[in-house]
Amino acid sequence: MTTTTRIVLAQRPHGEPTDDDLVEEQATLSDPEPGQALLQTLYLSLDPYMRGRMSDAKSYAEPVAVGDPMVGGTVSRVIDCPGGEFAAGDIVLGYGGWQTYSLEAVSYLRRLDPDAAPVSTALGVLGMPGFTAYAGLREIGRPEPGETVAVAAATGPVGSAVGQIAKAWGARTVGIAGGEKKVAHLRELGFDEAIDHRADDFADRLAAATPDGIDVYFENVGGKVFEAVLPRMNTYGRIPVCGLVSGYNSTSLPEGPDRSGLLLGAILTSSLTLRGFIQTEFVDTVMDDFVRDMTAWVAHGTVQYTEDVVDGFENVRDAFRGLLVGKNFGKLVVKVAD
Amino acid sequence: MTTTTRIVLAQRPHGEPTDDDLVEEQATLSDPEPGQALLQTLYLSLDPYMRGRMSDAKSYAEPVAVGDPMVGGTVSRVIDCPGGEFAAGDIVLGYGGWQTYSLEAVSYLRRLDPDAAPVSTALGVLGMPGFTAYAGLREIGRPEPGETVAVAAATGPVGSAVGQIAKAWGARTVGIAGGEKKVAHLRELGFDEAIDHRADDFADRLAAATPDGIDVYFENVGGKVFEAVLPRMNTYGRIPVCGLVSGYNSTSLPEGPDRSGLLLGAILTSSLTLRGFIQTEFVDTVMDDFVRDMTAWVAHGTVQYTEDVVDGFENVRDAFRGLLVGKNFGKLVVKVAD
């Protein structure tokens, strides 16, 4: 019997999730049976998709049930694994959720090598966000050398990987982010152009930065950035759509005019491809190549990554709210234990 | 020297094109030189895309210049062809525009066999509209046997071909049209389901007609039909976008709320593909298969077609205005001469 501190979805949030929606509680975990492992959480990943799991609107995954702990990727230390698949002390990647200890099926766990890379990168550049970037670019965006690839939230874990992978494949890269500090970081990462979407003349800057238009726009934000990007898209442009964080807290449709016809019109007149995806679709076909390429790129410094490590499980909810409004800088993880 | 009666774009229309925008005039054609042919127009095709050519907004083709005759596909009789590529009396498919006689480069002309099919079908089921349906379905929609294919403006020349081709390929077909007469015609054409978008409970009827959702929606209308279709789309659904006739006369964006985020959200959560296209993209790769398949289907009655023949060049403008609001029934052509 182990006591875990966890955060449950007490009720579905209306807008920004409050501490009444996400309630911290103590719970008791039973001892692991064969096929299970008891784990101590070291790092919890916080990602925008989790906001979707709190709602019961139609989505690509089942919502978290009211009363259940919030889900999430975790890097954990094995405490007890009666079947012997893992040794006590092994570090594993799992899906333990927002809690300090978890009981998981061993089939969902993957052993990590702490000597190969910092174990927290399994939640970021070498994990789901990095894979999202790689799979979306390779399978949908398909940038040719010399083409222009634009991405928003470009200092985020997906966006920064998108830009650096596209650059490694020979594309011209345009990063969009909010604030001068993030823009400066994009330049350090090697983006060919870096633009602040908070600037009053953002659309003009974007036009100046894309003299040959945009061939691939990796969409993970939505909203006003997308509006400015759309007229810059070249004929036969591709838009992988993997997230719309700007609208995740919305409780009603934005005010008019209705721009959906404008969007369809752009799709028609420029023969654009928009394709929504969730990375799980490509795990079977693309994961092996991703692990091979990304491990090498990270080792050689071709792809750099930034982590925003928040210390302490008690800060999970504040960190998540900050994520939804862009306060994090790099991949957001909560360090839960040493 | 030949006198032609023609309609020129005197000024760009604001909303529905008026007789001040589209002005009828007489003009004199010079005698054909080698490499040219003087043609008498027999049939003029009227198509929704022509509204786009009257505007100077960014599109997939250059707009018609103010003062120039309106463009359009034509079936014509050869009057004089000094280079000898065609004989006087030959019937040819060309792009003579809105006029009673035209002078065209012979390289743009294709001889038609009046014994094989009525020559006007070269403007419809065996021409550009039929090819648009075939190419968009085969290259983008890619329906599998048993999947559900929906199309709006389903009695139109593109929509009716979409439904019948999809049926020939084993899909379940749902046709959407305006008014009971058109809906009844869809049933005659063999659509599995036929729905009137003017019905107050259109969205409910669409849901009832698509118990397994929609896998392919061939988008050639836009507006409220699309809004009702979107929530019915299945995961990995495909939406070829070849026209948006509902908005062609719009002079401003529709009132809010802004539904563009809703559209992007649906693309994301259902992993949809939206792909704009114009049929010319596929001429090199798909046209031969189209001619082979469609000629056989028409000969065997697998694909039926309906023509709405308006008699007399003097009725061109009224017929075109009617087309933009759905007054035609089947492929709209103007019979200009016998």
Mean pLDDT of B303-319: 96
pLDDT for the residue B187: 96
Does position B312 have pLDDT exceeding 90, yes or no? Answer: yes
Does position A246 have pLDDT exceeding 70, yes or no? Answer: no
pLDDT for the residue B259: 73
CA atoms in the 13 A half-sphere facing the CB of A153: 29
* Neighbouring-strand partners of residue B193: B174
Q: Between the CA of residue B172 and those of B151, B178, B220, B300, what are the distances in Å?
A: 11, 20, 19, 20
Asked if residue B133 lies in contact with residue B218, where contact means CB atoms within 8 angstroms, the answer is: yes
Q: Between these two residues, B39 and B325, which has the higher pLDDT value?
A: B39
pLDDT for the residue B89: 97
Mean pLDDT of A142-155: 96
In tens, the pLDDT along A5-27 reads: 999 999 999 999 999 999 999 99
Grade residue B245 by pLDDT with cuts at 50, 70 and 90: low
Could you tell me how many residues make up chain A? 338
Which chain B residues contact residue A274 at CB under 8 A?
Answer: 264, 267, 272-275
Specify burial of residue A273 (Cβ count, 10 A radius: 0-12, 13-18, 19+).
buried
Does position A248 have pLDDT exceeding 90, yes or no? Answer: no
Question: What is the ipTM score, two decimals?
Answer: 0.83
In tens, the pLDDT along B35-45 reads: 999 999 999 99
Query: Burial code of A22-54, b = ≥16 C-beta within 10 A, e = fewer?
Result: bebeeeebeebeeebbbbbbbbbbbbbbbbbbb
Minimum Cα–Cα distance from A253: chain B residue: B257
* This prediction's pTM: 0.85
Specify burial of residue B226 (Cβ count, 10 A radius: 0-12, 13-18, 19+).
buried
Q: Are strands A91-94 and A74-80 parallel, antiparallel or unpaired?
A: antiparallel
Range with the poorest average pLDDT among A19-33, A248-262, B294-308: A248-262
Considering CB atoms only, which of A58, A260, A271 is closest to B278?
A271
Which chain B residues contact residue A241 at CB under 8 A?
Answer: 264, 267-268
Q: Are strands A148-151 and A214-218 parallel, antiparallel or unpaired?
A: parallel
- CATH fold, domain A2-123+306-335, is Quinone Oxidoreductase; Chain A, domain 1 (3.90.180)
Mean pLDDT of A314-331: 92
pLDDT for the residue A169: 97
What token pair was written down for B176?
């959407």
Cβ <8 Å between B256 and A260: no
B170 vs chain A: nearest CA distance in angstroms? 25
Minimum Cα–Cα distance from B246: chain A residue: A261
The domain ranges of chain A are 2-123+306-335, 128-280
Grade residue A245 by pLDDT with cuts at 50, 70 and 90: low
pLDDT for the residue A251: 57
Domain A128-280 in CATH 3.100.10.20? The answer is no
Does position A143 have pLDDT exceeding 60, yes or no? Answer: yes
Q: Between the CA of residue A106 and those of A246, B46, B271, what are the distances in Å?
A: 36, 65, 30
What token pair was written down for B237?
């659904």
pLDDT for the residue A1: 87
Mean pLDDT of B130-159: 96
Cα end-to-end span (Å), chain A: 21
Cβ <8 Å between A272 and B269: no
Query: Is B128-280 in the same CATH topology as B2-123+306-335?
Result: no
Minimum Cα–Cα distance from B59: chain A residue: A269
- Read off φ and ψ for residue B80, nearest 5 degrees: -155, 130
B250 vs chain A: nearest CA distance in angstroms? 10
pLDDT for the residue A105: 96
* Neighbouring-strand partners of residue B273: A275, B238
- Distance in angstroms (rounded) separating the CA atoms of residues B26 and B99: 9
